[in-house]
Amino acid sequence: MSEREQEPVEQMYKDAVHWHVNTGGETIHAKRMPGRFRSYKWYASVLWVLYLLTPYMRWDGHQAILFNIPERQFHLFSITLWPQDIWMLSLVLILLAMTLFGVTAVAGRVWCGYFCFQTVWTDWFTWIEDKIEGNPVQRRKLDEAPWSARKLRLKLLKHAIWLLMAVITGITFAAYFTDAFELWQRYLTLDAPPVAWVVLAAFVFGTYVFAGFMREQVCFWLCPYARIQSVMVDKDTVLPTYDEMRGEPRGKAKDKGNGDCIDCRLCVGVCPTGVDIREGMQEGCITCGMCIDACNSVMDKLDRPRGLIRYASRKEMAGEVLPPLFRRPRVITYCTIFLLAVSGIVYGMTHIPPIELSIVHERQPLYIQMSNGDIQNRYTVKALNKTPATLHMQVSLSGATGLAIVDGGQEIVLEPGKMIPAHLFLVAHPGALTAKKVTVNFVLESVESPHIRMEYESVFMAPGGR
């Protein structure tokens, strides 16, 4: 083979010198350093502390947030959502998606870096690890050391606390679906239903394995949102970025002619996913800003200006000025959809009908001729009473001529939370009808509270008509 032919292949190998894929072969022991972004991370954790506490909150004598699946009712404070209102869920999902998209377009993977449960639980788990086994150097040494009474004690303690946290996470999740206090009691007396045990087992396993062992591997290889968010980033998006112009060539601080980067690798040491931010934006970066804190602390020590690694967009790095937020098409689009979803949810929440009503016209037979020649149609009333009280609904017709309700304007009793189908019959003398198919308007009015009034349009069918 000639040398010329071999060259491209050698070039490929040379290009691939930095080729490093973190497939979990080594445990990443990230150093924990105080700083601005470290504080942000703690503040964001509060969101998840709320998750852990919410099930114990009460409202009007019931659990404030309760997803009661067997009874198909979702309680959100004073609002009760029925399966019929589930369309709002799609708006909530759109809203969450738009929040994610919008924030990602502006500031990158903020969700990943600060709010994601994977990030937060991993952070809590490594914090425990740090408290028990010591700093990353001590941890690596402990991992490599042969088994001893001390190692066994430390490892047992750590895993016990991890498992306890996993159990609490699981019970908390299950507590959103049933009464939290009763659930604890049933778990503790080993009396919980099988589904509760399955949920708990799944969550304990998931939390313990994902936060304790897989950690950044989840972000690298399991999580689809990590990949989705990467494509939402553009040249305007601010991301933790290494200022190459200022930093390179990197080298020892005492050597003259080097850039500001002293190649201390502290930015790599603090990174929870083990990436080197100086190689540029990459899939492993969850934009948590730990490297910024680390680098700033080094720059402070060297009396060099902060911000060698900083939140900046590619445009800023190229010396361009960022357009204001409201002039960016993506931001405008995401915000518009966001606002539409919010208004839909607000409308839905404030306009939940007290009764879910449908009046179904019988199709087989469409009509029946009675012995006196009248035509009778049968309707099935399906009304779900979403109020907490029994309702007596008076049925009448509006705007219909020649039609009468059999047993004239009977009452339908609606028990709370129940839907018992009832029948209604309309009769008409064939001569009184104007067409084969007449539109009828049923009006249901509550005897107890007249403001509860429902209308429902249906049809009356007859064989002849004029």
Tell me which residues touch other proteins (CB under 8 A). Answer: 1, 5-6, 9-10, 13, 16-17, 19-21, 23-25, 214, 217, 221, 362-365, 368-373, 376, 378, 413, 418, 420-423, 425
Q: How far is the CB of 215 from other proteins (least distance, A)?
A: 12
DSSP H helices in 274-430: 290-301, 314-317, 329-350
Rg (C-alpha) for the chain, rounded Å, is 33
- The amino acid that residue 137 corresponds to is V
- The amino acid that residue 446 corresponds to is S
Nearest to 275 by CA among 318, 241, 235, 316: 241
Q: Are 315 and 414 in contact (CB under 8 A)?
A: no
Q: How far is the CB of 408 from other proteins (least distance, A)?
A: 16
> Of 206 and 259, which CB lies nearer to other proteins in the complex structure?
206
> Of 320 and 415, which CB lies nearer to other proteins in the complex structure?
415
Nearest to 235 by CA among 97, 112, 325, 106: 106
> Of 2 and 78, which CB lies nearer to other proteins in the complex structure?
2
Q: Supply 359's token pair.
A: 């009046």
- DSSP 8-state secondary structure symbol assigned to residue 71: T
Separation between Cα atoms, residue 431 and residue 51, nearest integer Å: 66
> Of 220 and 334, which CB lies nearer to other proteins in the complex structure?
220
- DSSP 8-state secondary structure symbol assigned to residue 325: G
Q: How far is the CB of 393 from other proteins (least distance, A)?
A: 13
> Of 201 and 420, which CB lies nearer to other proteins in the complex structure?
420
Sign of CA dihedral 313, 34, 36, 303: negative
> Of 19 and 326, which CB lies nearer to other proteins in the complex structure?
19
Separation between Cα atoms, residue 462 and residue 374, nearest integer Å: 10
Q: How far is the CB of 406 from other proteins (least distance, A)?
A: 8
- The amino acid that residue 338 corresponds to is F
> Of 268 and 290, which CB lies nearer to other proteins in the complex structure?
268
Q: How far is the CB of 33 from other proteins (least distance, A)?
A: 27
Q: How far is the CB of 354 from other proteins (least distance, A)?
A: 20
Q: How far is the CB of 425 from other proteins (least distance, A)?
A: 5
The strand ranges marked E within 249-336 are: 309-312
Q: Supply 180's token pair.
A: 């939290």
Q: How far is the CB of 368 from other proteins (least distance, A)?
A: 4
> Of 8 and 319, which CB lies nearer to other proteins in the complex structure?
8
Backbone angles phi, psi at 108, to 5 degrees: 70, -155
Backbone angles phi, psi at 310, to 5 degrees: -150, 165
